[in-house]
């Protein structure tokens, strides 16, 4: 009769260890530490290049405006798409690809991966990857986790699915109610260095309504700053980082 309590006690004692194993990679989400310890995950590339990335689309109200702004400057970027949003706007997904931009996956739903088990994590990523592949004729090879928080399950699922996780080295904090074009530009360039990866949002699907307007307003200023610093701007596939896979 003492066996069951003993087993229960052992199981409870193991919970912190299991939780730590599941959440261990979360340390890589903290910018300064991540950039030093895991430059590949942070998206560190060649010194004269900056990777421009957008999360949370596609959004039929805002994404076309970003595509127009990028086309006007002759700049291509990487768009990390949510599967659920891609399903709602399949034509827009094809348009992003047709204009020469790189597409990665941001999961199917914008939910923290630490709250999911291995099976649910795998299914979420696989569903998003397969949909984007079906819509564009090319399976994505890049993955950015929601909120930038990885888990052991996410690392394993991404590896099985041929997806390389990549985060960022600087962002615009463009999802908040206080964001303005000036604040987004200022926040990005504060940490902008050659070889860095910029995170912005082309959608307000998971942000404050209308927040994308600040991002759109900041985009020309960010590109101007890169030009003044002699930095080439492009997608991750041209970034020269350890996780890039140049496509034909």
Q: Which residue has the tokens 């430059």?
A: 39
Distance CA 190, CA 197 (A): 13
**151, 121 in Cβ contact below 8 A?**
yes
**How many CB atoms are located within 10 Å of the residue 132 CB?**
24
Which one is catalytic: 49, 55, 101, 155? Answer: 55
Residue 22 catalytic?
Answer: no
3-state DSSP helix/strand/coil % of the chain, to nearest 5: 50, 10, 35
Distance CA 179, CA 52 (A): 19
**89, 67 in Cβ contact below 8 A?**
no
Residue 201 catalytic?
Answer: yes
Which one is catalytic: 22, 49, 185, 201? Answer: 201
Annotated catalytic residues are 55, 201
């Amino acid at each position: 009769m003492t066996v069951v309590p003993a087993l229960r006690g052992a199981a409870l004692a193991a919970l912190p260890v299991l939780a730590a194993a599941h959440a261990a990679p979360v340390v890589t989400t903290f910018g300064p530490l991540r950039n030093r310890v895991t430059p590949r995950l942070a998206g560190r590339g060649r010194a004269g290049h900056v990777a421009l990335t957008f999360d949370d689309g596609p959004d039929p109200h805002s994404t076309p405006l970003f595509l127009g702004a990028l086309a006007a400057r002759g700049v291509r970027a990487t768009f990390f798409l949510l599967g659920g949003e891609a399903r709602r706007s399949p034509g827009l997904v094809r348009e992003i690809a047709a204009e020469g931009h790189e597409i990665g996956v941001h999961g199917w739903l914008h939910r923290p991966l630490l709250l999911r088990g291995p099976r649910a994590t795998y299914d979420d990523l696989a569903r998003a990857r397969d949909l984007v592949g079906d819509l564009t004729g090319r399976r994505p090879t890049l993955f950015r986790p929601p909120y930038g928080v990885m888990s052991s399950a996410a690392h394993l699922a991404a590896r099985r699915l041929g997806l390389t996780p990549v985060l960022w080295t600087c962002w615009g904090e463009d999802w908040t109610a206080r964001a303005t074009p000036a604040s987004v530009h200022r926040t990005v360039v504060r940490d902008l260095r050659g070889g860095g990866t910029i995170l912005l949002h082309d959608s307000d699907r998971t942000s404050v309504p209308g927040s994308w307007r600040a991002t759109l307003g900041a985009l020309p200023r960010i590109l101007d700053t890169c030009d003044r610093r002699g930095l080439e701007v492009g997608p991750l596939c041209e970034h020269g980082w350890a996780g890039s896979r140049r496509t034909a």
